[in-house]
């Protein structure tokens, strides 16, 4: 196991721009900011004001995202008094990041998230790493996953192609959660392909009225297929590029490149917000894409 000191020394020595760049890139993963958005999507009902807290891509591991840090994030989110908390997947450390870190157990990170409080509940979808780290689920070709079960034991509802009708001040809305689009990975002749458990039609099928819909997804790649009937789609997965140089992200895990890398995107009057997330994937470095909790005020 590489030590934290060795990792700091190695990346610091190799970082572009020398020690200043390396030190910043290694320090940035330990900060957390709150990024606010205020919008009224087309057709959003007058009088429905909804405050959503979004947590994405924790990638729990020591020392980068240990239990104490997760508990601090939970306390901060609770202090913002959201109506709902939306968890967008990748709670576990990826395989590659684990080379530089130590594990945080499922009971530990899910127990910390179990401290989240909101009057309209805490709601979750799974991410690709939550599927990939569970070899038994990979072998079966279906869930449940260890991460999903841990969330449920912590009292958090996990959505897989499902939705629920909620109400704020007598005004109804639908909250939907899509199954992960990259749940299973396949290796063929040196290349990788991904198979999802996502079913957008089934996710939205229970909607029986014209109340607005908020859709939770992990990967933003589904967005071109999301109908205008959905008021807002929220996603994670990209980490905002994780490393951005002068606003450019050289690596984005999306078939669309940087099209959905980060922030508020409007296409054909449809709204998508992509969180930069909180943790790290691949290597424990973030640069130009600081960790964030997203706060969305709809109809405010």
For the chain, 300 residues long, the average pLDDT of each consecutive 10-residue run is: 37 37 50 93 95 97 94 97 98 79 95 98 98 95 97 98 97 98 81 89 97 98 98 97 85 93 96 97 87 95
* Torsion 265-217-299-296 (CA) sign: negative
Q: What are the φ and ψ backbone dihedral angles of 292, each rounded to 5 degrees?
A: -150, 150
233's CB contacts (< 8 A; 6+ apart) are 214, 215, 217, 220, 222, 223, 226, 270, 271, 272, 273
Q: Can you tell me the distance from the alpha carbon of 248 to that of 266, in angstroms, rounded to the nearest whole number?
A: 20
Q: How many alpha carbons fall within 13 Å on the CB side of residue 120?
A: 23
Helices (H) and strands (E) in the chain, counts: 8, 16
Record the tokens describing residue 200, joined without a space. Answer: 């957008």
CB 238, CB 261: distance < 8 Å? yes
**Confidence at residue 188, expressed as pLDDT on a 0 to 100 scale:** 63
What's the CA gap between 201 and 161, in Å, rounded? 8
pLDDT at 5: 41
What does R_g of the chain's alpha carbons equal in angstroms?
A: 19
Judged by DSSP in three states, 261 sits in: coil
Q: What pLDDT sits at residue 98? A: 63
For residue 160, the 8-state DSSP code is S
Calculate the alpha carbon distances from 203 to 117, 146, 160 in Å: 25, 22, 8
In this structure, what DSSP letter does residue 37 have? E
């Amino acid at each position: 196991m590489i030590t934290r000191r060795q990792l700091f020394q190695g990346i610091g020595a190799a970082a572009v721009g020398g020690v200043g760049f390396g030190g910043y890139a290694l320090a940035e993963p330990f900060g957390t900011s709150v990024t606010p958005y205020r919008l009224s999507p087309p057709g959003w009902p007058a009088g429905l004001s909804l405050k959503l807290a979004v947590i994405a891509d924790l990638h729990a591991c020591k020392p980068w995202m240990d239990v104490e840090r997760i508990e601090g994030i939970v306390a901060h989110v609770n202090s913002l008094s959201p109506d709902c908390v939306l968890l967008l997947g990748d709670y576990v450390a990826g395989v590659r990041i684990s080379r530089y870190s130590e594990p945080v157990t499922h009971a530990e990170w899910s127990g910390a998230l179990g401290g989240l409080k909101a009057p309209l509940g805490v709601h979750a979808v799974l991410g690709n790493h939550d599927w990939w780290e569970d070899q038994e689920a990979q072998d079966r070709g279906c869930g449940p996953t260890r991460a999903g079960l841990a969330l449920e034991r912590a009292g958090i509802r996990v959505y897989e192609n499902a939705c629920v009708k909620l109400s704020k001040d007598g005004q109804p809305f639908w909250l939907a959660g899509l199954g992960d689009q990259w749940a299973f990975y396949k290796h063929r002749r040196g290349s990788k392909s991904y198979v999802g458990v996502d079913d957008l039609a089934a996710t939205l099928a229970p909607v029986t009225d014209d109340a607005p819909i908020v859709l939770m997804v992990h990967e933003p790649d589904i967005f071109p297929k999301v109908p205008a009937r959905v008021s807002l789609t929220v996603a994670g997965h990209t980490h905002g590029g994780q490393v951005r140089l002068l606003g450019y992200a050289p690596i984005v895990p999306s078939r669309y490149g940087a099209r959905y890398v980060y922030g508020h995107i409007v296409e054909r009057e449809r709204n998508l917000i992509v969180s930069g997330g909180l943790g790290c994937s691949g290597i424990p470095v973030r640069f130009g894409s600081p960790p964030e909790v997203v706060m969305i005020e709809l109809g405010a």
